[in-house]
Every structure is written in structure tokens, then in C-alpha cells.
Structure 1
Amino acid sequence: MISLIIRISLRYVAAFLMARGLLSPDVGMTLAADADVIQMIEVALGALVGVAAEAWLYAERQFGGAR
């Protein structure tokens, strides 16, 4: 499910960048359709969520919220 959301998001981001002229159409289509790119983004988002959860817990402990 998450890879479907990432694929759709990449298509919109690639279309926006192509419309602005920052990305060539060939690179944009490769970015939106390449399974390896989607998998790397999925792993990066998973790591980001984990880091955000740990940072939230650390901040909560620093301010006396977690016991």
C-alpha cells in the first residue's frame, strides 16, 4: 500500500518539476516508474518515521512527560 502512495506522489512531484523545467521528461518518467527508486524512498520514509518517533520520546523525557 505504501509503495502505491509513493509511486503516485513521485508522479505528481515529477510532473511539477517537469512543468517548471527543472527536470527533463525522460528523467521524470524514470523517477516515477523505477521500482528501485520507489523502494529506496520507502526505506527512507520508514527510517524517518522511526527517527521521528525516537526524537519525540526523547523530547518528551526531557520535558518531563514520560515516566
Structure 2
Amino acid sequence: MNPAIIRNILRYAAGALVAKGLIAPQTGLAIASDPVLVESLSLALGAVLGLIAEGFYALAKRAGWRT
């Protein structure tokens, strides 16, 4: 997954949490700009999307759909 997309998602999520008062503004800034968190989420989202794609492929094979 593209790290720029992950950073934007984290920025919007942190902004929403700060706006709701659930986290401090400094914590939101740390979440949105942490490169280790961005890399970890990129890896995790890539793995999840790969597993979802493989799951749909297995479902299509089992159901006899065109693959």
C-alpha cells in the first residue's frame, strides 16, 4: 500500500480524534507523523488486502465461477 495514502488516513483519523477530544493535539501530531507507524500499517494493510483477494479467489474456485 502506498505510504502517502496511509499517512493521509492517519492524519484524518488523528484529526477526528483530536476534534472529538479523545486525544491531545500533541498525540495526534505524533500519530500522523510517525514513520514507523506508517510503515507498519502499510505492511499490515498490504497483507490484509492480499488475504482478502486470495479468499475471494478460493471462493470463486469453490463455487465454480470463472477465475
TM-score with structure 2 setting the length: 0.88
How many residue pairs align between the two structures?
67
- Please give the alpha-carbon distance, in whole angstroms, between the structure 1 residues aligned to 2:53 and 2:24: 36
- Please give the alpha-carbon distance, in whole angstroms, between the structure 1 residues aligned to 2:35 and 2:63: 42
Moved runs in structure 1, 4+ residues, more than 4 A?
Answer: none
1:47 alignment partner in structure 2:
47
Within 5 A, what are the aligned runs for 1:23-62? 23-62=23-62
* Larger RCO, structures 1/2 (Cα 8 Å, 6+ apart): 2
Matched-pair contact (CA < 8 Å) for 1:57–1:66: no
SS at match of 2:22: coil
1:20 alignment partner in structure 2:
20
Shift in Å, 1:60: 0.6
Shift in Å, 1:66: 4.3
> Percentage identity across aligned positions?
36
Unaligned runs of 5+ residues in structure 1 are none
TM-score with structure 1 setting the length: 0.88
After superposition, the CA RMSD in angstroms is 1.6
